[in-house]
Structure 1
Amino acid sequence: MKPPPSQFGADITNTAHMICTKLAGRAVIRVVGRCNEAQENNNLDLSECQLMQVPDAVYHLMRHTELKACNLSSNVITKIPPKFAVNFSLITELNLAHNQMSKLPDELADLAELERLDLSHNAFINLPGVVYKMPKLITLIANSNHIIEVDVDRLSASRSLESVDLRENPLPRNTESALQNISRIRVVLSPRELEEWEDLTI
């Protein structure tokens, strides 16, 4: 005999809740485990942890650890809080790839030792202003976003930048041309396909 529909629905809801709680529990256990590892090797790897943000507990667990690298890739993070730079001020590498970010806080300029920043596969429509202010940034990876705006003058004025990857972005033609004219920094762009109206052979 089938249970009444309402009871059946309640069973599904309860089961779904239990599954979600288990998944959340697993994610928490994973994060705590990786924080413990980071206390040993100074490299915090929170990739693929289903994070929507950096949990406050992480800052607490890491408060006595001098992190050198932080990997937050392959999550669903939409923003990095200003306090991130205060807590992880000594990192040299930050991987934010494969998230849902469209901006970065100016406070990240306080990451005075940061040399490598990966922003690839996010939702940026302009190159965040803070990247021009990072004093030791050498490598910037920002491919596969929606970037249409780059402050070329500020980029070329950077004293530390050596390599910038801007492939797979819908950059305007004049911006691409300006970027190609930067001689001191290696700027990587996707090969440009001519629009029909640009093809003068027609």
Structure 2
Amino acid sequence: MDQETLMNAVNPLISKCQIASSTGILDLNDSQLTEIPDEVFNFMSNAGTEIKHCDLSGNLMEEIQPKLALDFKFITNLNIAHNLLATLPKEIGNLRALESLNISCNYLFELPDVVFKLPHLIYLYAQDNFITEIDVEKPIESDNLALVDLRYNTLEPEFLRKLMNTPTTFRLVLNDADMTENDFDDDDDQDDDDGFIKN
């Protein structure tokens, strides 16, 4: 076994960083991480690669280090689903190229304000958290926002009523059950697989 193979066996993150240095895709999912190791930041900095896609899903992170947004500022796709996150750092707003953000299956009780400050965001996946409502009247910097998925949250009936009477520039995906239980009758789309979609 040569030295490089031995190092990869000892620290599998090295091989993942090596792949990222040539592809621009950093895949660290299901790596039992509580944070992004400094070695990852140092490796990618020395490699001089612009990371476009970053997958940190399925880890044990309670917070995202601000350093991610500062070092990987060209990311277009960030997946931090299935972690232990209760908030996002304000520095995420520095990801000016971000188009897709997946924060599903975490411990978010509100939708972080920073997501509304991402100018090129198209897709926001926030399902399976503990969100009770969002401020649909809050200014959204992105003119491209097309989809916000809020299925499997704890949305308040009062918020749902307000939502049905508030025009939005993006598609909201909600639970069919939420709409049925609260007796909402509307002309929006309904799909058994995708849930209730408000245009």
TM-score, normalised with respect to structure 1: 0.79
Residue 81 of structure 2 corresponds to residue 100 of structure 1: no
Q: Whole-Å Cα distance in 2 between the matches of residues 167 and 140 of structure 1?
A: 12
Query: Which residue is equivalent to 2:36?
Result: 54
Q: Following TM superposition, by how much is the alpha carbon of 1:82 offset from its aligned partner in structure 2, in angstroms?
A: 1.3
Q: Whole-Å Cα distance in 2 between the matches of residues 151 and 194 of structure 1?
A: 22
Q: 2:120 touches 2:142 (CA, 8 Å); kept in 1? A: no
Q: Following TM superposition, by how much is the alpha carbon of 1:154 offset from its aligned partner in structure 2, in angstroms?
A: 1.4
Query: Which residue is equivalent to 1:73?
Result: 57
Query: Which residue is equivalent to 1:132?
Result: 116
Q: Following TM superposition, by how much is the alpha carbon of 1:157 offset from its aligned partner in structure 2, in angstroms?
A: 6.8
Aligned CA RMSD, in angstroms, stands at 2.0
Q: Following TM superposition, by how much is the alpha carbon of 1:175 offset from its aligned partner in structure 2, in angstroms?
A: 1.7
Q: Following TM superposition, by how much is the alpha carbon of 1:176 offset from its aligned partner in structure 2, in angstroms?
A: 2.0
Q: Whole-Å Cα distance in 2 between the matches of residues 156 and 135 of structure 1?
A: 8
Q: Whole-Å Cα distance in 2 between the matches of residues 171 and 156 of structure 1?
A: 20
**Number of aligned residues:** 172
SS at match of 2:137: helix
TM-score, normalised with respect to structure 2: 0.80
In structure 2, relative to structure 1, the CA distance for the partners of 1:118 and 1:34 (3 Å cut) is same
Query: Which residue is equivalent to 2:189?
Result: none
Gaps (5+ residues) in structure 1? Answer: 1-24
* Bigger fraction of residues in strand: 2
Pairing partner for 1:187 from 142, 162, 172: 172
- Runs (4 or more) in structure 1 with deviation over 4 Å come to 25-28, 155-158
SS at match of 1:123: coil
Q: Whole-Å Cα distance in 1 between the matches of residues 136 and 12 of structure 2?
A: 41
Q: Following TM superposition, by how much is the alpha carbon of 1:95 offset from its aligned partner in structure 2, in angstroms?
A: 0.1
Q: Whole-Å Cα distance in 1 between the matches of residues 31 and 133 of structure 2?
A: 31
Larger radius of gyration: 1
Gaps (5+ residues) in structure 2? Answer: 1-6, 184-199
| 1:51-91 CA-partner distances (Å, limit 9, x unpaired) | 00111111101111101100000001110111111100001
